[in-house]
C-alpha cells in the first residue's frame, strides 16, 4: 500500500496519476494560499510554483496553517516557509519559489509551466493581471476571495470561488468578480496615487484599515477551491464556475455566470498574447 491508497479509493489510480503529473501555481501565500498549498501537497501534485513577495509577520500566525510558533517574524519570506513546510508533508513534490510580486517578469515566466493557477489574493489589481494572464496563456484559474463587513446591525462574512478555464465562456471581469475601479487604483503608481490622494484629500491609512481574518473562514473557501480542482482534474465532474459561501447564513450557493458577449477580456485578450500585451504591467 502506498501513501495515496485512500485517495485512490476516492478517485482511482488514474485520478492519482493525473494529480501526480500536475503542475500548479499558487499566487499569494497568505491565509487562503497556505490552506490551498497544504491540501495540494496532501493530494500529491507533482510540482508547485509559489509566488509571494512578502515576509511572515506575527499577526499571520492566527491563520497560516503552514506557519509554526517558532518561525521568525522578521526576514522569513512566506515562500521559504512554504518550501520548508511542503517538504515536511511530501519531499517528493518539486517546489519552485518566486519571492516577487505577481507583477514581475519572474512571476510571469514561472507561471508559464503551470496548467492551473490558484489566485489567493487580497487585491483586485493583482486579480486583474491574473485574469488576463490566464486568458492569454490558456490556463485554468481558480480565484478565491474572503469578505467581511459590518454595518450597524449586522456582521456579514463569507467568500467565494470563481473558475475561469480555456474551454469555458466568461472571465473574472464579466463574472463581476473584479471591481475595475479598485483594480486601477491598486495598479496605479505610488506617485500617481499620492497625487490623487492630495487632490481629493484622502487619508490612505484609513482606507487600508486592516480587516478581520480567521483560519476557519479561509479554510472553507480554500477547501471549496481545492475540492473543485480535485473533481475537475480527476474527471469526477467539471468544476463549478461560481460558489458563494455566506458564512453569516451558513450556506454555500452555486451560480452560473451570465452571458457576456461584449467582454473585452474574453474577446480580445483570450488566446492572444499579442493583443493581451501583458508586458505593460511589468
Ligand atoms: Zn470576460
Each residue's pLDDT tens digit, 53-83:
999 999 999 999 999 999 999 999 999 999 9
The answer to the question of residue 80 being in a domain is: yes
- The confidence score (pLDDT) of residue 192 equals 76
How many whole angstroms from 156 Cα to the centroid of ligand 1?
28
Domains: count for the chain: 1
In contact, 265 and 257? CB cutoff 8 Å: no
The pair phi, psi for residue 118, each rounded to 5°, is -105, 120
- Closest alpha carbon to 83 in 70, 99, 72: 99
How many whole angstroms from 268 Cα to the centroid of ligand 1?
9
In contact, 116 and 40? CB cutoff 8 Å: no
Helix (H, G, I), strand (E, B) or coil at 32: helix
- The confidence score (pLDDT) of residue 206 equals 56
| Cβ partners under 8 Å of residue 228, min gap 6 | 142, 161, 163, 239, 240, 243
The answer to the question of residue 202 being in a domain is: yes
* Residue 110 reports pLDDT greater than 80: yes
How many whole angstroms from 115 Cα to the centroid of ligand 1?
20
The answer to the question of residue 3 being in a domain is: no
Average pLDDT on 96-124 reads 97
pLDDT band at 115 (very low <50, low <70, confident <90, very high): very high
* Residue 138 reports pLDDT greater than 90: yes
- Closest alpha carbon to 231 in 213, 243, 246: 243
Average pLDDT on 133-151 reads 96
How many whole angstroms from 155 Cα to the centroid of ligand 1?
31
Grid cell for residue 35 = 490552506
How many whole angstroms from 125 Cα to the centroid of ligand 1?
16
- Closest alpha carbon to 260 in 169, 180, 179: 169
The answer to the question of residue 228 being in a domain is: yes
| Per-residue pLDDT tens over the stretch 13-23 | 999 999 999 99
Mean pLDDT of the chain: 94
- The confidence score (pLDDT) of residue 207 equals 54
* Residue 184 reports pLDDT greater than 80: yes
- The confidence score (pLDDT) of residue 199 equals 75
- The confidence score (pLDDT) of residue 208 equals 55
The answer to the question of residue 281 being in a domain is: no
For residues 226 and 240, what is the distance between their CA atoms, to the nearest angstrom? 11
How many whole angstroms from 153 Cα to the centroid of ligand 1?
36
The answer to the question of residue 278 being in a domain is: no
In contact, 175 and 145? CB cutoff 8 Å: no
How many whole angstroms from 270 Cα to the centroid of ligand 1?
9
Measured distance between the N- and C-terminal CA atoms of the chain, rounded to whole angstroms: 48
How many whole angstroms from 220 Cα to the centroid of ligand 1?
26
- The confidence score (pLDDT) of residue 15 equals 98
Domain ranges, residue 114? 10-273
- The confidence score (pLDDT) of residue 133 equals 97
| Per-residue pLDDT tens over the stretch 213-237 | 999 999 999 999 999 999 999 999 9
| Cβ partners under 8 Å of residue 105, min gap 6 | 282
* Residue 39 reports pLDDT greater than 90: yes
How many whole angstroms from 128 Cα to the centroid of ligand 1?
11
Q: 82-91, 194-203, 269-278 — which one is most confidently predicted on average?
A: 82-91
The number of beta carbons lying within 10 Å of the beta carbon of residue 36 is 28
How many whole angstroms from 277 Cα to the centroid of ligand 1?
16
How many whole angstroms from 135 Cα to the centroid of ligand 1?
9
The answer to the question of residue 1 being in a domain is: no
Average pLDDT on 99-114 reads 98
* Residue 30 reports pLDDT greater than 70: yes
How many whole angstroms from 261 Cα to the centroid of ligand 1?
8
The answer to the question of residue 50 being in a domain is: yes
* CATH number, residue 185: 3.40.50.720
How many whole angstroms from 21 Cα to the centroid of ligand 1?
29
Amino acid at each position: 500500500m502506498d501513501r495515496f491508497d485512500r485517495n485512490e479509493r476516492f478517485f482511482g489510480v488514474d485520478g492519482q496519476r493525473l494529480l501526480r503529473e500536475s503542475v500548479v501555481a499558487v499566487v499569494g501565500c497568505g491565509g487562503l494560499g497556505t490552506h490551498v498549498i497544504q491540501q495540494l501537497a496532501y493530494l500529491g501534485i507533482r510540482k508547485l510554483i509559489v509566488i509571494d513577495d512578502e515576509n511572515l509577520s506575527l499577526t499571520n500566525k492566527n491563520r497560516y496553517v503552514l506557519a509554526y510558533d517558532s518561525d521568525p517574524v522578521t526576514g522569513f519570506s512566506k515562500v521559504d516557509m512554504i518550501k520548508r513546510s511542503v517538504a515536511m508533508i511530501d519531499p517528493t513534490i518539486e517546489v519552485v519559489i518566486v519571492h516577487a510580486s505577481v507583477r514581475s517578469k519572474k512571476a510571469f515566466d514561472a507561471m508559464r509551466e503551470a496548467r492551473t493557477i490558484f489566485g489567493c489574493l487580497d487585491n483586485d489589481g493583482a486579480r486583474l493581471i491574473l485574469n488576463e494572464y490566464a486568458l492569454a496563456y490558456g490556463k485554468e484559474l481558480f480565484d478565491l476571495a474572503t469578505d467581511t463587513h459590518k454595518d450597524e446591525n449586522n456582521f456579514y462574512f463569507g467568500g467565494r470561488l470563481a473558475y475561469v478555464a480555456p474551454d469555458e465562456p466568461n472571465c473574472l471581469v464579466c463574472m463581476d468578480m473584479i471591481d475595475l475601479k479598485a483594480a486601477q487604483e491598486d495598479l496605479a503608481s505610488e506617485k500617481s496615487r499620492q497625487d490623487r490622494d492630495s487632490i481629493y484629500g484622502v487619508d490612505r491609512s484609513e482606507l487600508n484599515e486592516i480587516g478581520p481574518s480567521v483560519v476557519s473562514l479561509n479554510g472553507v473557501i480554500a477547501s471549496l477551491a481545492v475540492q473543485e480542482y480535485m473533481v475537475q482534474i480527476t474527471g469526477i465532474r467539471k468544476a463549478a464556475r461560481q460558489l458563494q459561501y455566506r458564512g453569516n447564513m451558513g450556506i454555500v450557493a452555486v451560480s452560473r455566470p451570465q452571458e457576456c458577449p461584449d467582454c473585452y477580456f474574453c474577446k480580445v485578450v483570450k488566446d492572444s498574447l499579442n493583443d493581451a500585451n501583458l508586458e505593460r504591467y511589468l
